[in-house]
Amino acid sequence: MSPIKRALRWFNLSQTISTRSQREDHFAHLKPSEYNILYNNPRVRRAVDGATRLKQAFRDPDFQVKIINKLWDVSPTRWLAKSSWWLLLTLVIAIAAAFSITFALVIMARSESFYGFDDDLIDVQHDPFLRAFAISLANFMGINYPGGPRDPTGTIILAIQSFFSKLLVVLGTGLVLMKFSRPRSHICFSDRMTVYEHHREKGQIWAKFRVAPSADQLLGSVAFKVSVEMTERTSTGEWECQFKEVSLDFSPTVVMMITNVRVHLNAPNNPFAGMNMEQIKERLDSVSVWVSGFDDVNGRMVTALESWEGEKIMWEAVFDDYFYVDPNEPNKQKPTQFVCNWARINTVIRPKQQPASTDEPSTADASISDRPTMHRSVSVGDDEVQRAATPTEGAI
């Protein structure tokens, strides 16, 4: 199944599980027969290699994304895993040559500590570097060469070089194993969490944040566990920090696209019992979320942890789950163009241009003409390829 078809399948599912969370006044006038779905930036799925590129691709000024695994851990791993065998071989040879040349210069500087530099054995007065490089390369490759050390200084130099040669063997072995293994899984979180009263009369406290698997990952089953850190007053009047786990109530499927996940904090072990929002603001110090899921693509478990503290916890904020008004929308009061953020594709929903034909459809074609046709414009390099999607594949 192609990435676009898979994205459309999960998009239809996300519409089903997120109907209650969408603002009706924004989408009441949207009809499938009146809108196209245009796909821009099909390479957005690669943007997770850097948080900056991800924010630029999604064009949402209120959505700040960060990656759990450090960038310096992600980028080299992905780059080396996707590189060619010739590039890896060239990299290993370049490292070996660099070490050999470096130690050749050291040997040449301490030539009195090595055999083979005597003029009565061989004439090296015109090119002593070649003799030093031969000794260094032979020692680096583990080859017996007559230019051995004369004193402890030469022995120490060759021992250090041998140690680095063993490290190079380990590095080369690791590159080969990594080449055969799949890339690591990573999960993106939103930069902030919203805590608000979902139902003031019932005292329901909810937390809301965004999460998405990144790159080529597709999580089939996801589990969340939340821990809150609260500062509570003891019987002696002092304040102490306590950690409490909270049961969850959230959308059952969190895959592929950027999703607002709601955490229902009013569980049987509710730490906020009898508190109003002001008391919660005073006592709540941090919220931590553990996410674990099975990666259907790579066949492994994926786990991630993120915490929100202080200024990264927003109170009683309101934002849309999936759609926001297109920044290029000319009519800000009554918008007709919306942007939907996914982890793979940046989608713009625009009004469909009805054909100017005045011909009446026949009875046999009536059922077909009533079905909405959605055209997707996929950028491939400098070209654009337009294809028609069936309603079952791209219906809103």
Task: Give the Å distances, CA to CA, from 248 to 202, 264, 266, 294, 394.
Answer: 17, 5, 9, 19, 31
Final residue of a structural domain among 299, 324, 349: 324
Position 291 scores a pLDDT of: 74
Asked whether residue 190 is assigned to any structural domain, the reply reads yes
Total structural domains within the chain: 2
Each residue of 133-157: pLDDT tens digit? 888 888 877 777 666 777 888 888 8
Position 355 scores a pLDDT of: 55
Q: Which two tokens stand for residue 75?
A: 């980028």
Query: Are 126 and 144 within one domain?
Result: yes
CATH of the domain at 33: 2.60.40.1400
Query: Are 61 and 189 within one domain?
Result: yes
Asked whether residue 345 is assigned to any structural domain, the reply reads no
CATH of the domain at 88: 1.10.287
Q: How far apart are CA 35 and CA 22, in angstroms?
A: 18
Q: Is the pLDDT of residue 16 over 70?
A: no
Asked whether residue 172 is assigned to any structural domain, the reply reads yes
Final residue of a structural domain among 137, 164, 180: 180
Query: Are 108 and 225 within one domain?
Result: no
Maximum pairwise Cα distance, the chain: 106
Query: Are 214 and 281 within one domain?
Result: yes
Query: Are 189 and 52 within one domain?
Result: yes
Asked whether residue 74 is assigned to any structural domain, the reply reads no
Query: Are 319 and 190 within one domain?
Result: yes
Query: Are 55 and 122 within one domain?
Result: no
User: Would the pTM count as exceeding 0.85?
Assistant: no
Highest mean pLDDT among 277-291, 313-327, 369-383: 277-291
Position 69 scores a pLDDT of: 40
Q: Is the pLDDT of residue 231 over 70?
A: yes
Asked whether residue 226 is assigned to any structural domain, the reply reads yes
Least confident of 32-41, 174-183, 337-346, 385-394: 385-394
Position 276 scores a pLDDT of: 77
Q: How far apart are CA 143 and CA 388, in angstroms?
A: 65
Position 264 scores a pLDDT of: 66
Asked whether residue 25 is assigned to any structural domain, the reply reads yes
Q: What is the mean pLDDT of residues 152-167?
A: 84
Task: Give the Å distances, CA to CA, from 341 to 7, 58, 182, 260, 294.
Answer: 11, 6, 26, 11, 23
DSSP per-residue letters across 235-257: TTS-EEEEEEEE-----S---SB
Position 390 scores a pLDDT of: 27
Query: Are 314 and 199 within one domain?
Result: yes
Nearest to 83, CA basis, from 169, 171, 164, 183: 183
Is 341 in contact with 11 (CB distance < 8 Å)?
Answer: no
Q: Which residue has the higher pLDDT, 104 or 214?
A: 104
Q: Is the pLDDT of residue 177 over 60?
A: yes
Final residue of a structural domain among 263, 289, 324: 324
Position 224 scores a pLDDT of: 73
Asked whether residue 360 is assigned to any structural domain, the reply reads no
Query: Are 99 and 193 within one domain?
Result: no
Q: Is the pLDDT of residue 272 over 70?
A: yes
Task: Give the Å distances, CA to CA, from 23 to 26, 28, 81.
Answer: 6, 9, 43
Query: Are 195 and 51 within one domain?
Result: yes
Asked whether residue 121 is assigned to any structural domain, the reply reads yes
Position 354 scores a pLDDT of: 54
The residue range of the domain holding 123 is 79-180
Each residue of 109-133: pLDDT tens digit? 887 777 766 655 455 555 777 778 8
Query: Are 132 and 203 within one domain?
Result: no
Least confident of 5-14, 240-249, 278-287, 325-334: 5-14
Each residue of 347-369: pLDDT tens digit? 555 555 555 555 544 443 333 23
Q: Which residue has the higher pLDDT, 242 or 392?
A: 242
Query: Are 255 and 319 within one domain?
Result: yes
